Amino acid sequence: MKRILFTQIQGNSTGYIALLGWLGAFVAAALGAVYFMEHNGHYVTGMNNQIVWGMPHVFAVFLIVAASGALNIASISSVFGRVMYKPLGRLSTLLSLALLAGGLMVLVLDLGRPDRLDVAMMKYNFKSIFAWNIYLYTGFFAVVGVYMWMMMERRMNRYTKIAGTVAFIWRLALTTGTGSIFGFLVARQAYDAAIMAPMFIIMSFSFGLAIFILVLMAVSNGTGRPLGDVLIAKMKNLLGVFVAAVLYFAVVQHLTNLYATEHHGVEAFILSDGGIYTGLFWFGQILIGGLLPLALLYHPTTGKDRMMIALAAAMVVIGGMAQVYVIIIGGQAYPLSIFPGYEVSSSFYDGIVGSYSPSLPEVVLGLGGVATTLLIVAIAIKALPFLPATLADADIDPHYVEPEPEPEPEEADSDDEGEEAAEAA
């Protein structure tokens, strides 16, 4: 394999500037939405005392879960030694950090008192999974940041494997923590299940890889960098496995519940009479997010068509959003079972399916999180050499692997750009 050359993007084309402008506009709109929501109070959103977590949480959880998954590619190369993925390690860590930043932004800006973020950073209740997550999330930035540095700084390359391993373990913990936010809730019929943690891990693999494939294709297209078919084929096969695994976990989750009479009510709600939630489950999560992408990825014709692979990845993202929506909103909409066996009524919506319709500011805030993620990636690939100059099969095929060169002598170590420009020459 040839020596990998990483370069920044030029970043002066009209398209690039326009992209930054659009993303910036979305972020600005999100900040405006936050001001609107915080100034008036949350009554202007679709959230209420029945559905306490809404669209911002769907976006935030999706992005945070995907953040962990976007690290897949880096892990596969550093931890599991697949050389072919090595050129993608830098982008993988970058996307991962950017997704986490976007998700956390949404989560934090939806708080009732976002001005008290310092309180959340200084006062901890260590029995709270949220408190653990604050450590898991901030720790993820540190761990993945160091990992990225090990990959990008030649002198540190030999520590890449150890840093990658730590990051791999950390991301598993992070997604376990995120899944446990719901898994440890005894109060609600739809949650309180240990399967949430592993299910969130496998969801992260799938959503994160789908987003990575989309971003990689977009970047290659936009910057005219070759992208080899062998690499794409490997990634789409991997995505197929993950999508199937997510389906499997969904089946186990619901079968377990269906077996216990206690949970028949909530299962009937999600699977057959929950209206929008039933629709999102079958058409969003199962069909668009599972069966159709599987068909596209493994069909002999569409499985070789890059557009179709991109479409499948986009469907995984849409289906993933639907799945998180069903889990978060659907799980809350089903009424609490405080008096099992009784018909209940009250002035506080006891026994009634909670109503929720996402408001515009919530959706704008969520999209602002996505825009923040993409903006970070767009700016970072201009500032630092994250992208390999080529991903053509001939350049990264493992058969061309040569022994790693010894680390350069100290004096040759100028900054990354200079060094790599020299190599290019």
Partner 1 sequence: MSDTTFNAARRRLLAGTAALAGISVAPGIRLISTAEAAVSGPASAKNRWGLLIDSNKCDAGCTECVTACKTEQGWTGNDRPESDPQWIRKVNLKDNKTGATASLPVMCQHCEHPPCVDVCPTGASMKREDGIVLVDKHICIGCRYCMMACPYKARSFVHEDVHNQKQHMPRGKGTVESCTLCVHRVDAGGTPACVEACTEKAGRDAMVFGDLNDPASEISKKLAKHVTTRLRADLGLEPGVHYSGI
Where does this chain bind partner 1 (CB under 8 A)? 38, 40-43, 47-50, 52-53, 111-114, 116-117, 119-120, 123-125, 127-131, 134, 181, 184-188, 332, 336, 338-339, 341-350, 355
Least separation, in Å, of the C-beta of 377 and partner 1?
28
- Whether 374 and 381 have beta carbons less than 8 Å apart is answered as no
> How are beta strands 387-388 and 6-7 bridged, if at all?
antiparallel
Neighbouring C-beta atoms of residue 35, cutoff 10 Å: 12
Neighbouring C-beta atoms of residue 381, cutoff 10 Å: 23
Q: What angle do CA 5, 378, 302 make, to 5 degrees?
A: 80
Least separation, in Å, of the C-beta of 76 and partner 1?
33
Least separation, in Å, of the C-beta of 341 and partner 1?
6
Cα–Cα dist 159/363, whole Å: 41
Cα–Cα dist 408/148, whole Å: 19
Q: Which is nearer to partner 1, 28 or 111 (CB)?
A: 111
Q: Which is nearer to partner 1, 35 or 342 (CB)?
A: 342
Structure tokens at 129: 């999974």
Structure tokens at 95: 């996307």
Least separation, in Å, of the C-beta of 251 and partner 1?
25
- Whether 158 and 408 have beta carbons less than 8 Å apart is answered as no
Element of type H or E holding 17: helix 14-40
Cα–Cα dist 9/131, whole Å: 39
Least separation, in Å, of the C-beta of 195 and partner 1?
18
Q: Amino acid identity of 140? A: F
For 341, which DSSP code? T
Cα–Cα dist 211/228, whole Å: 18
Least separation, in Å, of the C-beta of 127 and partner 1?
5
Q: Which residues contact 148 (CB under 8 A, 6 or more apart)?
A: 90, 93, 94, 97
Q: Which is nearer to partner 1, 10 or 49 (CB)?
A: 49
- Whether 100 and 376 have beta carbons less than 8 Å apart is answered as no
Q: Which has the closest alpha carbon to 225: 342, 387, 108?
A: 387
Least separation, in Å, of the C-beta of 49 and partner 1?
5
CA within 13 Å, CB half, 119: 7
Structure tokens at 112: 């009732």
Q: Which is nearer to partner 1, 72 or 133 (CB)?
A: 133
For 387, which DSSP code? E
Q: Which is nearer to partner 1, 1 or 185 (CB)?
A: 185
Q: Which is nearer to partner 1, 131 or 166 (CB)?
A: 131
Q: Which is nearer to partner 1, 47 or 365 (CB)?
A: 47
Please identify which residue in the block is written with the tokens 């061309």. Answer: 400
Q: Which is nearer to partner 1, 114 or 222 (CB)?
A: 114
Least separation, in Å, of the C-beta of 296 and partner 1?
36
Least separation, in Å, of the C-beta of 106 and partner 1?
13
Q: Which is nearer to partner 1, 49 or 301 (CB)?
A: 49
